[in-house]
Structure 1
Amino acid sequence: MQLELEQAKRRPMHVEGVVELPRIAQENPQVARIQPVVVRVDVDFTKSVYRLRAALATEVEYVCSRCLESFTAPLQTEFTERLRVLGTEAAADEDILTVDSPTVLLDPYVEQALNLALEYRPLCRGDCRGLCVECGCNLNERQCSCDTRRVDPRLAVLQDLLSKDDSE
């Protein structure tokens, strides 16, 4: 999605569009698929600086970090950027990004904002029980009969002694 910053010099502008970012799903293992992103941007111009305020909305198909089942969740986030065009006079500020041209491609800014807003360890639901460590069955769907008691390896010798006492 391209943005013509020069139009904001005359009056503030509002731009809406849709951006497809398949690379997000390719680079994030917890993301199976991402829908096209609806982008709404407001741009104003003050003292040689363009201020962008964007709202993003999409749906993400995640892979649950416990049970590995896919589920879909809405994702909404915002970002703000301050830009100046190379060669213009603007106050020195480390928060102002310098761009080469008044035509700006918004995709990298949208991608960065979405990457920061993604769930790092997504859960299909808050009480997801995950997979059995022995047989791998989904514990949300059925209970298995595996013995999942953990024994401290330092005490494993004592467990063997107890099993010999039971047989006598």
Structure 2
Amino acid sequence: MRVNLTELVEGQKKELDLEVEAKIENIGYFGDEIPLVAPVVFKGKIYNANGEIYIEGIVESTGEFSCYRCLEKFQKKIIGEIHEKLIYESSPQAEIEEYFIIKNNMINISEIMENVLISALPMKIVCDEQCRGLCLVCGENLNKHQCNCEKDEIDPRLAKLKDLLQ
């Protein structure tokens, strides 16, 4: 979805308030595809400050994840904030991938929304901070059942220290 910034660039307006909803199916995250089960919504503004164009706002959606610890599927709301400077295509900084580019007085807001959602995700996504994960011996989900496995394993690098205690 493209947003026309001509009025901002030419100085006719100082600010554009935006509320945009886009249907993005999936976002790529460390080689995985995360399905989005709700539309992506951007609420914010694009403004001109001394000839430079900035974007500010909040992006939110709901994704479907697999827990890093217990592998159960769950849905979680993703909320990300953006406070970025937009760079003109002709600018020398346009070659740096860290900036969003204004081409022909237009900006691709869908690309911005997707990048903000990805940056809002934690490295390890868990269903609950108290998630106990899977048993390392039998693979039982410890959130649902307690297993009776013997968990008396010692790190082989520290096994000699156990001999000192006896």
Percentage identity across aligned positions? 25
Q: Aligned pair 1:119/2:111, yes or no?
A: no
Secondary structure of the equivalent of 1:116?
helix
- Report what 1:10 is aligned to: 12
- Report what 2:111 is aligned to: 108
Deviation at 1:47, TM superposition (A): 3.0
Q: Please, what is the CA RMSD of the aligned residues? A: 3.0
Question: How many residue pairs are counted as aligned between the two chains?
Answer: 152
Deviation at 1:29, TM superposition (A): 6.1
Counterpart of 1:63, as a letter, is: S
CA distance in 1, matches of 2:16, 2:81: 17
TM normalised by structure 2 equals 0.75
TM normalised by structure 1 equals 0.75
State the Cα deviation string for residues 83-103 of structure 1 (Å, max 9, x = none).
243469xxxxx9976533201
CA distance in 1, matches of 2:155, 2:20: 57
Of 27-36 and 70-79, the range deviating more from structure 2: 27-36
- Report what 2:48 is aligned to: 45
From 129, 149, 152, the equivalent of 2:152 is 149
CA 1:80–1:13 in 2, change beyond 3 Å: closer, same or farther? same
Based on CA coordinates, which of the two structures has the bigger radius of gyration? 1
Deviation at 1:108, TM superposition (A): 2.1
**1:30 touches 1:65 (CA, 8 Å); kept in 2?**
no
Listed as ranges, the gaps of 5+ residues in structure 1 are 89-93, 160-168
CA 1:16–1:74 in 2, change beyond 3 Å: closer, same or farther? same
**1:32 touches 1:63 (CA, 8 Å); kept in 2?**
no
CA 1:96–1:126 in 2, change beyond 3 Å: closer, same or farther? closer
CA distance in 2, matches of 1:119, 1:96: 22
CA 1:97–1:125 in 2, change beyond 3 Å: closer, same or farther? closer
Counterpart of 1:7, as a letter, is: E
Q: Aligned pair 1:56/2:51, yes or no?
A: no
